[in-house]
């Protein structure tokens, strides 16, 4: 690759732009790296050149492209930051310094060094997001040339890419970069699966492309018939997204139907919803997979309608959005440099609020920072609302306590009760996107150690530990439904203190119980008819109650392929969950529709039942009816 390739791409993206600074940066970097080679054997300048070209494709601005050409100069040559500042100005110098690893400081471990470098990058990114754009482009080219390294190094770099860089690209709305990073990571982390996928997809490419064109024509025709002018495209999904779906749904490749994503681009938001109405009228929608990110945008600013519909023997995944939404979906925050400064700042500030959450790590331990990266930044996300309808981004599974601490530390520390959509809920209640959450505080209330068992965010966990004087444990607070103990279903009236189930009688959920305070300040819980209760009569009694929802009848709707033994398999799952079936009815056609009415009390049990039913062989969809 030569400089001319970069300049040609630059002129195509910015016809009126003066490229003199970019040319100067290229020559400066080439001389600084002279004599240095990449693992591939090529001159080192090829790496910053490729990094800059990736950023040109993302429509990044000239200072960012200039800094990309210089991004390894401070780290790998004798050039000083003052020299960069003198030659290229403060803006470029800041970007180059922000991407440079720490030098000259000794750390106790490699993990501490890595954590400190990430803290440095995060702080620089909070001031200027372009620092992260350069880091992502740098990592993408490194992944594209990873084949030249040892296998152990390939896997280590691929793991880091999948764990940190790809999710950051997602947070920034840079979906194409995310997809490429994930596919390249899969290639080295599970090469057999990668090659098998590649071969399977290649074998049916001709058939799939023919079907794609036919479907595109059908979508265009029904939209045109309804007077909607749209640009429609069909795109093969990234390998990693297919691989992930196969793992999550425990299905082989030939059972993954939605390998192509279809996109409808229209002019206005009104046309988005009109197109959605037409698509849902034409085909049966799979409602569990419907997402309206126009009404409820992701925290990175991404907007689009996602819907999946049943089509003959397959599924169609369709995205509907405007041209502006599509530009942002493709390029993420990089697209903002197309706007004028004042308009850009107004749009941009709302897109990167998640970075502010990372700044809380300044006072946390190094290992806590890396743990927080996984839990806060890269998990699936929900958006909940304050009573004033201000959006708050939280990880999936977050609770009212997480919400309280995200709003303000004092609200978290004095949280007494929580209301979700106007109703009092337990403090370990799992919030869902769209919930309106209100925290009721009491001046003399304080955090409970019990909260550490269910909070999801590292911010909440760190604040609780600090307030209670507990040292950081680097332990995950994630708790599955299977791990919930009897204690988790008990509610204490008054101050929350640790509970202990007595081993002499081991009461179960729903039993008549009695609780007594012990000398060490805990509460021991006995069955009311336990023979040892009389020995505790002198102790202060605690008021306890079971947090159990009333048993209610609920409906389950299952869409499946027809096969012998399917109904028996479904009923077996329901029976194993100890759930009573009140009625069953079926409807046969191209697919079999099963309608169940069951008795169930626990939402967690309900969610677990649906999860298990979805992985039964030949089941296509399970939804609440």
Distance (Å, whole) CA 270 – CA 265: 12
User: What's the angle, vertex CA 167, arms to CA 164 and CA 168, rounded to 5?
Assistant: 80
> Residue 510 has what pLDDT?
66
> Residue 606 has what pLDDT?
77
Confidence of residue 81 (pLDDT cuts 50, 70, 90): very high
Q: Is the pLDDT of residue 484 over 70?
A: no
Distance of CA 40 to the CA centre of its chain: 34
Cα dihedral: 443, 444, 449, 453 (round 10): -40
Q: Is the pLDDT of residue 374 over 60?
A: no
Q: What is the pLDDT of residues 428-476, one digit of tens each?
A: 999 987 788 999 998 888 888 888 888 988 788 888 888 887 643 373 3
Distance (Å, whole) CA 250 – CA 272: 34
Q: Is the pLDDT of residue 359 over 50?
A: no
Q: What are phi and psi of 284, to 5 degrees?
A: -75, 125
Q: Is the pLDDT of residue 253 over 70?
A: yes
β-pairing verdict for 305-311 and 552-560: unpaired
Q: Is the pLDDT of residue 373 over 70?
A: no
What mean pLDDT is reported for the chain?
A: 80
Q: Is the pLDDT of residue 376 over 80?
A: no
Would you name the residues annotated as active-site residues? 75-76
Is 278 buried (19+), middle (13-18) or exposed (0-12) by CB count in 10 A? middle
Q: Which of 160 and 480 is assigned the larger pLDDT?
A: 160
> Residue 488 has what pLDDT?
56
Q: Is the pLDDT of residue 514 over 80?
A: yes
* Cα-trace Rg, the chain: 28
Query: Nearest-CA neighbor of 372 among 169, 514, 163?
Result: 163
> Residue 22 has what pLDDT?
94
pTM over 0.75: no
* Mean pLDDT value of segment 375-384: 59
Task: For residue 261, give the H/E element and its range.
Answer: strand 260-266
237 HSE (CA, 13 A, CB side): 20
Q: Is the pLDDT of residue 367 over 70?
A: no
Non-local (6+) Cβ contacts of 108 within 8 A are: none
Q: What are phi and psi of 422, to 5 degrees?
A: 85, 0
- How far, in Å, are 500, 506, 513, 605 from residue 487 at the CA level? 7, 11, 12, 17
Q: Is the pLDDT of residue 390 over 90?
A: no
CB 594 within 8 A of CB 620: no
Q: What are phi and psi of 277, to 5 degrees?
A: -60, -40
> Residue 480 has what pLDDT?
36
Q: Is the pLDDT of residue 86 over 70?
A: yes
Q: What are phi and psi of 76, to 5 degrees?
A: -115, 0
Domains and CATH numbers, the chain: 3-189 (1.10.3210.10), 197-333 (3.30.460.10), 380-476 (3.10.20.30), 486-546 (no CATH), 552-624 (3.30.70.260)
> Residue 108 has what pLDDT?
59
Q: What is the pLDDT of residues 515-549, one digit of tens each?
A: 888 877 788 888 887 767 777 777 888 888 766 55
* Mean pLDDT value of segment 604-620: 82
Of the chain, the percentage scoring pLDDT greater than 90 comes to: 29
Query: Nearest-CA neighbor of 290 among 273, 277, 309, 272?
Result: 309
Task: Outline where 296-413 has alpha helix (H).
Answer: 323-331, 341-349, 354-358, 366-372, 400-407, 409-413
Distance of CA 499 to the CA centre of its chain: 34
Q: Which of 233 and 251 is assigned the larger pLDDT?
A: 233
| DSSP bridge partners of 308 | 317
């Amino acid at each position: 690759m030569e400089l001319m390739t970069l300049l040609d791409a630059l002129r195509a993206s910015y016809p009126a732009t003066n490229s003199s600074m970019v040319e100067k940066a290229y020559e400066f970097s080439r001389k600084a790296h002279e004599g240095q080679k990449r693992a591939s054997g090529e001159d080192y300048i090829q790496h910053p050149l490729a990094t800059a070209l990736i950023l040109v494709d993302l429509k990044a601005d000239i200072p960012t492209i200039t800094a990309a050409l210089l991004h390894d100069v401070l780290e790998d040559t004798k050039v000083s930051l003052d020299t960069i500042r003198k030659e290229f100005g403060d803006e470029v110098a800041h970007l180059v310094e922000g991407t440079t690893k720490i030098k000259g400081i000794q750390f106790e471990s490699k993990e501490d060094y890595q954590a400190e470098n990430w803290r440095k990058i995060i702080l620089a990114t909070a001031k200027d997001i372009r620092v992260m754009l350069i880091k992502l482009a740098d990592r993408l080219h490194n992944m594209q040339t990873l084949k030249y390294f040892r296998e152990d190094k390939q896997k280590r770099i691929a793991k880091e890419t999948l764990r940190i860089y790809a999710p950051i690209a997602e947070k920034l709305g840079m979906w194409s970069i995310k997809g490429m990073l994930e596919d390249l990571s899969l290639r080295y982390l599970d090469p057999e699966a990668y090659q098998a996928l590649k071969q399977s997809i290649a074998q049916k490419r001709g058939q799939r492309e023919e079907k794609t064109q036919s479907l595109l024509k059908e979508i265009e025709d029904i939209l045109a018939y309804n007077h909607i002018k749209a640009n429609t495209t069909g795109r093969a999904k990234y390998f990693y997204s297919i691989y992930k779906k196969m793992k999550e749904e425990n299905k082989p490749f030939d059972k993954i139907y939605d390998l192509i994503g279809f996109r409808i681009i229209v002019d206005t938001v009104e046309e988005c919803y009109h197109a959605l109405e037409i698509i849902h009228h034409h085909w049966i929608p799979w409602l569990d997979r419907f997402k309206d990110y126009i009404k409820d945008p992701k925290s990175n600013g991404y907007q689009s309608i996602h819907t999946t519909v049943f089509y003959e023997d397959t599924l169609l995944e369709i995205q509907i959005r405007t041209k502006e939404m599509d530009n942002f979906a493709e390029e993420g925050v990089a697209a903002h440099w197309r706007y004028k400064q004042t308009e850009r700042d107004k749009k941009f500030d709302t897109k990167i609020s998640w970075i502010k959450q990372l700044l809380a790590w300044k006072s946390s331990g190094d290992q806590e920072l890396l743990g927080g990266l996984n839990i806060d930044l890269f998990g699936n996300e929900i958006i909940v609302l304050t009573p004033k309808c201000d959006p708050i981004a939280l990880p999936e599974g977050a609770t009212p306590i997480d919400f309280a601490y995200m709003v303000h530390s004092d609200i978290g520390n004095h949280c007494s009760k929580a209301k979700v959509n106007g109703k009092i809920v337990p403090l370990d209640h799992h919030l869902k996107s769209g919930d309106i959450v209100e925290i009721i505080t009491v001046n003399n209330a304080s955090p409970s150690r019990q909260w550490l068992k269910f909070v999801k965010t590292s911010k909440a966990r760190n604040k609780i530990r600090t307030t209670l004087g507990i040292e950081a444990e680097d332990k995950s607070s994630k708790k599955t439904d299977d791990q919930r103990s009897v204690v988790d279903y008990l509610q204490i009236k008054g101050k929350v203190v640790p509970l202990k189930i007595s081993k002499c009688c081991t009461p179960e959920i729903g039993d008549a119980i009695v609780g007594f305070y012990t000398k060490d300040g805990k509460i021991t819980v006995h069955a009311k008819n336990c023979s040892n209760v009389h020995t505790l009569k002198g102790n202060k009694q605690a008021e306890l109650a079971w947090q159990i929802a009333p048993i209610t009848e609920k409906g389950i709707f299952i869409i499946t392929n027809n096969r012998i033994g399917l109904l028996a398999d479904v009923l077996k799952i329901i029976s194993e969950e100890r759930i009573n079936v009140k009625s069953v009815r079926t409807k046969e056609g191209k697919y079999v529709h099963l309608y169940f009415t069951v008795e169930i009390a626990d939402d967690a049990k309900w969610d677990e039942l649906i999860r298990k039913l979805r992985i039964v062989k030949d089941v296509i969809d399970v939804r609440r009816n």
